[in-house]
Amino acid sequence: MDHVFLSDRGKVRQHNEDSVGFFQNNAGILAIVADGMGGHLAGDVASQMTISTFKTLWEEEPAINGPGEAENWLLQKVAEVNKAVYEHSVSHPECQGMGTTIVTALVTKTYATIGHIGDSRCYLLNNSGFNQITQDHSLVNELVKSGQISKEDAEHHPRKNVLLRALGTEQNVDLDLKTIEMDDNDLLLLCSDGLSNKVTDDILEKELSQSDDLTKTAHELVRLANDNGGEDNISLIMLKKTAHKLGEDSC
């Protein structure tokens, strides 16, 4: 599995409240993008706690046997991480109200289980085209889904950044899950809204479709987001399934 991960402060923010994690063991790959929020530097705390806790949990996992186990693992571990972040915010006044979005992919040789909370996104590029796998847990997305505003109106809505769900802000949180097959040359993009708000789906598809160097493409996407304003932190992970070769592990 070819991969690259990148996080950039952007052109406006003084601090980077995003965190990314890419962890690999015998069970497969766990990739995470977390976009923190709340309080002075508390967003950093929430996103970093999320990544570091998942790292520990993944290191302790010996095996994942099938999509059902993958989904159950994410459900259970997200609940544990949510509890840890929430309890930290309650016991540390300077972190009160902190939380983070999360989009994660648990990837094996044949499938990927995607989990998300908030408006960080997962996209899939494959033979069927380029599609957004996740649905934002945001006010404007609910307005779009109910037909009250158009998708075009949502791009410039004054309450675009209002989230309806985040990890760590409440004692319990719901995780959306989806498992997809992974074929050779399929490419996953996980990103914070610092990228998806500044680079259109058409441009994302174009850049990913012509990519033969994931690292070069990642830096180009960050450059495009910054050239379009860079008001937010910009984070992404790309994973591309490589063709299996005899005697080699396809991941």
- Dihedrals φ, ψ of 10, to 5°? 90, -170
Q: What is the pLDDT of residue 248?
A: 44
167 secondary structure, DSSP code? B
Dig out the tokens for 34 from the structure.
């977390």
| 162 confidence band (pLDDT: 50, 70, 90) | confident
Residue 180 to residue 182: CA distance in whole angstroms: 6
Location of structure tokens 């990913």? 208
Q: 131-153: per-residue pLDDT in tens?
A: 999 999 988 888 888 888 877 77
CA 19 to chain centre: 10
40 pLDDT more than 70? no
Q: Dump the DSSP string for 145-195.
A: HTTSS-HHHHTT-TTTT-BS--BTSSS----EEEEEE--TT-EEEEE-HHH
Structural tokens at position 90: 């309650």
Closest Cα to residue 183, out of 116, 135, 125?
125
**Positive or negative, the Cα torsion across 199, 202, 203, 209?**
positive
Q: Which residues pair with 22 in a beta bridge?
A: 31
* H/E segment holding residue 116: strand 111-117
pTM passes above 0.95: no
Q: What angle do CA 47, 50, 51 make, to 5 degrees?
A: 90
Q: What is the DSSP letter of 134?
A: S
